Structure 1
Amino acid sequence: MAESVPLSTDRAPAHHEALDRLQTLVADDLSRVNQIILDRMQSSIPLIPQLAGHLVSSGGKRLRPMLTLASAQMLAYDGRRHEGLAACVEFIHTATLLHDDVVDESDLRRGIESANAVWGNKPSVLVGDFLFSRSFELMVEDGSLDVLRILSRAAGIIAEGEVLQLTTSNDLGTTEEAYLEVIGAKTAALFAAACEVAAVVAGRPQAEWDALKAYGHNLGVAFQLVDDILDYSAKQAELGKSLGDDFREGKITLPVIIAHSRGTDEERAFWVRTLEDTEQVDGDLDHAIALVRRHEALAETAARAQSFGEAARRALDPFPDNEAKRLLLDIVDFCIDRVY
């Protein structure tokens, strides 16, 4: 058995106050989830836990599994099934990150070398597949066909979203509607499933499944909108991420769509050269940042994130007030306030 890798929880306390309080609320459950993750990523083939552990222990927020745990607490669920499903959610997320870094040819993940930069593309893809298989084992062990349907469908939607993003990359004809379809699939689907399964295990009525799914979906869209803002913001460095990754990869995100639509012919020619033709030179990223600011594309994207955040908050209206609900509402602010 390969050596276990400790799970890092290092964060910037001032910026992550709401996240810290959420983690405190679910601390006991999260500890057991982390142990499930460590146990299930082990293999007699040493490279598997070594590579998986590199990403799992690299300081991720565990936001998605914490949403499962907090949603279960809000519903006063007193069993243990949500712990295995929270681990399942994290395995799906981690597998997609391994695959994404290969597709995007990323060298960094959370400020450290990505797994594909260290071990290469083939091992990263295959270990991602291994983690997907672990997630499905956990779904089956739970024994609920509804849980299996929700989480397996989410995995499929995420894959569809990534393929759809490939078709929109380097295409400035991408509409805002198409962009929202991409992030609704590749990001929001797992947020939605992570919350919805809590209502399933708690034995709640369908209306509450739908409400938690809506909360997670809208939160996930807001989260990704803010991520797309940060790619063109100095705040990115404070969060341990590389500035301009989306720009260098030719990704068409909402700030670009807005800036391009409002730009002059000369500015549009710049976007075509850098994103469609991928002919980038020194200084292009700075000019791109100047353009999205000039046309208030970041502020406009932030306003969209606020709108989705409000929808997430409204989705929780049917639930009685308790500490878990208040923290789930606060997490909406955390996701959006990362940009400020």
Structure 2
Amino acid sequence: MPVADEALATRLADRMLEVERALAGHVRSRAPFVTSAASHLMEAGGKRFRPLLVLLAAETGANPDSDDVITAACVVELTHLASLYHDDVMDEASLRRGAASANARWDNHVAILTGDFLFSKSSELTAELGADAVRIQARTFTRLVEGQIQETVKPGAGEDPLEHYLDVVAGKTGSLIATSARYGARFGGATPEVEEALTAYADIVGTAFQLSDDILDISADAAESGKTPGTDLREGVPTLPVLMARASAGPQDARLLQLLDSDLSDDALHAEALTLLRAHPAVEQARAYVVARAQEAKALLAVVPEGPVRDALAIFADHVATRTT
């Protein structure tokens, strides 16, 4: 997360060290094997975007150094980590964060149960934050799981595929990021008005973050992004540019539509589809949509006091919309 103010960046870095130390303790079990499995993805790295957002949102309140802020940061990161274990089983993924996924290193049973263990640890910590936090976490988890389930089913008859997909992303990704901002604002002592604004801001930015990934999957250069282009395309996963291309397709797009409905595990067909999609106006349309969502999120920051915290939140919204990695 880009933070221009040096003092704020230093405070956040110091607090993130506290979060990392706390997380290392929370994934420990009395059984060494469970500790090893639960530590696996955490030690592989990750952006730690959600706990960092908790800390940044807390800076809008009177008590940003509250111990509850650290606890809340651990809650959202443990929830996120738990969901990754389950995601990898559903996706039959072999890699996560450059390392073997838990299901590949052990098996699906271990991965699922390790995810359950992390969810339970997250729940224990949430209980320390009080009944309201438990209620917020439960609602967040409901949205997250609903999004995950919706992703496995096709849109119903008469349902807009793009709206269906955006609803999936809002549930799977936006919900926990929104709660990260809510927890930070609440336990940092921000006003209710600021808490609500930051929650809405983060819901939008969280969704935009995933949509940016969609665009990178099509447009990014492998050397720059560190990702293999067209992975979702090859696997037939519907993403924002693909759905927009389908929605706006004309007679000139017949070959692209034919390819999108084909088995793109074939390297030549995959390369042709990626080339056609990169040249399609839908990619720029998708970029414009994400930039517009970022602007919408930034407008919600008007109630946050002017200063480095608001600046950092605004810069981050822009960064999400235009990122290349």
Give the aligned partner of residue 256 of structure 2.
267
For the 8 Å contact 1:19–1:331, the answer to whether it is kept is: no
Q: Distance in 2 between matches of 1:19 and 1:132?
A: 34
SS of alignment partner, residue 267 of structure 1: helix
Q: Give the counterpart letter for 1:89 in structure 2.
A: V
Q: Give the counterpart letter for 1:302 in structure 2.
A: R
Give the aligned partner of residue 205 of structure 2.
219
Give the aligned partner of residue 4 of structure 1.
none
Q: Distance in 1 between matches of 2:174 and 2:5?
A: 22
1:133 Cα deviation (Å)? 0.4
For the 8 Å contact 1:154–1:193, the answer to whether it is kept is: yes
1:96 correspondence with 2:83: yes
For the 8 Å contact 2:59–2:188, the answer to whether it is kept is: no
Q: Give the counterpart letter for 1:321 in structure 2.
A: E
Change over 3 Å in CA distance of 1:162–1:23 after alignment to 2: farther
Match of 1:309 among 288, 294, 317: 294
1:104 Cα deviation (Å)? 0.8
Give the aligned partner of residue 118 of structure 2.
131
1:240 Cα deviation (Å)? 3.5
- Deviating beyond 4 angstroms after TM superposition, the runs of 4 or more aligned structure 1 residues are 16-23
1:198 correspondence with 2:187: no
Q: Distance in 1 between matches of 2:33 and 2:231?
A: 28
Listed one character per residue, the Cα deviations across residues 115-145 of structure 1 (whole Å, up to 9, x for unaligned) are 22211211111101100001110100112x2
Q: Distance in 1 between matches of 2:168 and 2:9?
A: 29
Q: Distance in 1 between matches of 2:22 and 2:108?
A: 26
Give the aligned partner of residue 278 of structure 2.
293
Give the aligned partner of residue 3 of structure 1.
none
Give the aligned partner of residue 102 of structure 2.
115
Give the aligned partner of residue 175 of structure 1.
161
For the 8 Å contact 2:94–2:104, the answer to whether it is kept is: yes
Give the aligned partner of residue 84 of structure 1.
71
For the 8 Å contact 2:147–2:169, the answer to whether it is kept is: yes
Q: Give the counterpart letter for 1:110 in structure 2.
A: R
Give the aligned partner of residue 310 of structure 2.
325
Change over 3 Å in CA distance of 1:320–1:87 after alignment to 2: same
1:206 Cα deviation (Å)? 3.2
Please list, as runs of the form range in 1=range in 2, the aligned pairs for 1:41-60 lying within 5 A after superposition: 41-60=27-46
Match of 1:232 among 193, 196, 218: 218
Q: Which runs of 5+ in 1 are unaligned?
A: 1-15
For the 8 Å contact 2:212–2:320, the answer to whether it is kept is: yes
Q: Give the counterpart letter for 1:306 in structure 2.
A: V
Give the aligned partner of residue 334 of structure 1.
319
Q: Distance in 2 between matches of 1:221 and 1:241?
A: 20
For the 8 Å contact 2:75–2:126, the answer to whether it is kept is: yes
Give the aligned partner of residue 152 of structure 1.
138
SS of alignment partner, residue 168 of structure 1: coil
Listed one character per residue, the Cα deviations across residues 179-205 of structure 1 (whole Å, up to 9, x for unaligned) are 110101001001100001122224444
Match of 2:269 among 284, 288, 300: 284
Q: Give the counterpart letter for 2:323 in structure 1.
A: R
SS of alignment partner, residue 111 of structure 2: helix
Q: Distance in 2 between matches of 1:219 and 1:92?
A: 19
Match of 1:142 among 129, 133, 142: 129
Q: Give the counterpart letter for 1:309 in structure 2.
A: A
Change over 3 Å in CA distance of 1:141–1:235 after alignment to 2: farther
Q: Distance in 2 between matches of 1:97 and 1:286?
A: 29
Please list, as runs of the form range in 1=range in 2, the aligned pairs for 1:17-36 lying within 5 A after superposition: 17-18=2-3, 24-36=10-22
Q: Distance in 1 between matches of 2:191 and 2:97?
A: 38
Q: Distance in 2 between matches of 1:333 and 1:236?
A: 22
Would you say how many aligned residue pairs link Structure 1 and Structure 2? 318
Q: Give the counterpart letter for 2:257 in structure 1.
A: R
Q: Distance in 2 between matches of 1:69 and 1:241?
A: 29
Percent of residue pairs bearing the same amino acid type:
36
RMSD (CA atoms):
2.3
1:108 Cα deviation (Å)? 1.7
Listed one character per residue, the Cα deviations across residues 148-175 of structure 1 (whole Å, up to 9, x for unaligned) are 1112211221111011011139x9x862
1:207 correspondence with 2:193: yes
Q: Give the counterpart letter for 1:49 in structure 2.
A: T
